[in-house]
A and B are shown apart, each in its own frame.
Chain A
């Protein structure tokens, strides 16, 4: 039996190596696809070698579970629209959390059949951690999924006593956790832990608004890894510990990048529901200048350099293919086209990049904010499609604004700005946008896709 254990552990080392290599390759667009494959091979090695374990005596339950999960996962992966990626990643975070929670529960149920002999407090504490993190990840992800997919109101839900309730939960964790570790035979503490974790996940996510979703998804992504890692500690499996933490670290880095892009701390985002709404200190004075799509065409026809700034509205209008078509026409007309993508544009990290990649826009034409801002004056036209807060000059100019201090794409410094927008209302954060009132701004109202298609038709008639 010794040699079997050795082979399994050596294979786990190999698998961990493949995961690490895979993540490394994933950090460049040219090698990313290969990196994903390498990581999948690592997973295959880990799974196959685990199945060789002589303690596994029956395979039909495993096959049943794998067949159901695998078929559903494959169907989801094939059928999901690129615009729906945030919901899908969110849902998958939730499945990961629930899997860890169930594994923690299975560990308890297995130990209870032998009267918890050999269950050290280290094992019991890590089981508690698995249940807590897994439960919070699961219910939090379900709420995030509901908000992102429009099944729930995306606005932050606040009610009196929310803060007190959250504090009660935290105290509850310690009390119930202590009771479970000292008296594991009583299943009440197990169920109470699970219930507390699930309800805390809901409380923590429901109070966060839609514009902060990139932070929430990244954080839940991190949690799903940490939950797997905690489960690994509970069942004493090193590959779970290492791999779970790789995911945990990656999610945390993304969370940090998203927070920096909004100039806010993580605590500020997580507790945003508790903050009092800020009254704008200054009133924006001026007149919005509206321009029909046909007139926008004449300006674009004469332009030499165009910058496209997409936001969540482009995803909602499914306008990415029309944008790509417009890009081709402009380029044939001798104009250069570039895209400026804010780190928190859309509802998840990198959301816009994937949509534009789907529409065949080469990734080397997608620029980051710090790259385009210094040369903003060189663009004849900046087209803002369904973005609002990420181009809001209030972040620079108005001290009283809730988004003051957030780094933004300084579209207002381009020679002309077109804002494609459904209506002239405030954006997701409910913040007025002085960009709409600038002298060089023209609002093109209507569905973004229809507007762009109108411009494309004008090119055709020429």
Chain B
């Protein structure tokens, strides 16, 4: 039964994603991509468990490597998106 719930969540999340992003203007396409890079670093949450739980050495190494890679996405993604968005300015009304 639980698997059905998971598939249900998949369906709803996919639709929500489509509705949210549809209206993003072309100007923001690059920040949207780097921002979603950062969000896809959510794998970090799954990797934390693999890295920190009581496991055999192979699992721990794989989990730690996954933590490192996902951290690149999270930290780098948010920072570079913020840097980029800081450059977007409206025309000054003199």
Q: Which residues of A contact B (CB under 8 A)?
A: 19-20, 22-24, 26-30, 32-33, 35-37, 39-40, 43, 46-47, 50-51, 53, 55-59, 61-62, 64-66, 68-70, 72-74, 76-78, 80, 82, 85, 88-89, 92-93, 95-96, 98-100, 102-103, 105-107, 109-110, 113, 122, 217-218, 221, 224-225, 227-229, 231-233, 235-254, 257, 341, 343, 348-351, 353-354, 357-358, 360, 362-366, 368
Cross-chain pairs A/B with CB under 8 angstroms, 29 sampled: A29-B27, A33-B85, A39-B35, A46-B45, A56-B48, A61-B51, A61-B67, A66-B68, A70-B74, A72-B76, A76-B72, A78-B79, A80-B80, A88-B80, A102-B69, A103-B63, A109-B56, A122-B3, A225-B36, A240-B43, A241-B9, A245-B17, A249-B14, A250-B21, A251-B36, A257-B26, A350-B32, A353-B29, A363-B88
Contact of B21 among A29, A231, A249, A343 (CB under 8 A): A249
Least CB separation from B65: chain A residue = A102
* Minimum distance in angstroms from B57 CB to a CB of chain A: 9
**Which B residues lie within 8 Å of A65 (CB)?**
47, 51, 63-68, 71
Q: Which DSSP category, helix, strand, loop or mixed, fits chain B's interface?
A: helix
Contact of B53 among A55, A357, A363 (CB under 8 A): A55
> Quick one: which of A96, A218, A368 has the most chain B CB within 10 A?
A96
Q: Which residues of B from 53 to 87 have beta carbons under 8 Å from A?
A: 53-56, 58-60, 62-87
Beta-carbon contact of A76 and B36 below 8 Å: no
* Minimum distance in angstroms from A400 CB to a CB of chain B: 30
Given A243-B39, A363-B88, check contact A68 B78 (CB 8 Å): no
**Which B residues lie within 8 Å of A82 (CB)?**
84, 87
**Which B residues lie within 8 Å of A348 (CB)?**
29-30, 33
**Which B residues lie within 8 Å of A76 (CB)?**
72, 76, 80
Least CB separation from B67: chain A residue = A65
* Minimum distance in angstroms from B74 CB to a CB of chain A: 6
Least CB separation from A19: chain B residue = B39
**Which A residues lie within 8 Å of B29 (CB)?**
254, 257, 348-350, 353
Beta-carbon contact of A106 and B53 below 8 Å: no
Beta-carbon contact of B43 and A96 below 8 Å: yes
Least CB separation from B81: chain A residue = A36
Beta-carbon contact of A77 and B80 below 8 Å: yes
Beta-carbon contact of A89 and B34 below 8 Å: yes
Complex: A354 Cα to B26 Cα, angstroms: 11
Q: Which DSSP category, helix, strand, loop or mixed, fits chain A's interface?
A: helix
Contact of B41 among A43, A64, A89 (CB under 8 A): A43
Least CB separation from B36: chain A residue = A247
Beta-carbon contact of A26 and B22 below 8 Å: no
Beta-carbon contact of A62 and B39 below 8 Å: no
* Minimum distance in angstroms from B48 CB to a CB of chain A: 5
Beta-carbon contact of B70 and A254 below 8 Å: no
Least CB separation from B56: chain A residue = A113
Beta-carbon contact of B89 and A357 below 8 Å: yes
Beta-carbon contact of A57 and B53 below 8 Å: yes
Contact of A66 among B25, B30, B67, B80 (CB under 8 A): B67
Least CB separation from A35: chain B residue = B35
Contact of A243 among B42, B51, B88 (CB under 8 A): B42
Least CB separation from B18: chain A residue = A249
**Which B residues lie within 8 Å of A57 (CB)?**
52-54
Beta-carbon contact of A73 and B79 below 8 Å: yes
* Minimum distance in angstroms from A215 CB to a CB of chain B: 12
Beta-carbon contact of A36 and B85 below 8 Å: yes
**Which B residues lie within 8 Å of A245 (CB)?**
10, 13-14, 17
Beta-carbon contact of B31 and A253 below 8 Å: no
Complex: A242 Cα to B70 Cα, angstroms: 17
Beta-carbon contact of A89 and B37 below 8 Å: yes
Least CB separation from A86: chain B residue = B30
Beta-carbon contact of B43 and A99 below 8 Å: yes
Beta-carbon contact of B37 and A99 below 8 Å: no
10 closest A-B pairs by beta carbon, nearest first, are: A249-B17, A69-B71, A73-B76, A350-B29, A65-B67, A349-B29, A77-B79, A362-B91, A350-B30, A73-B75
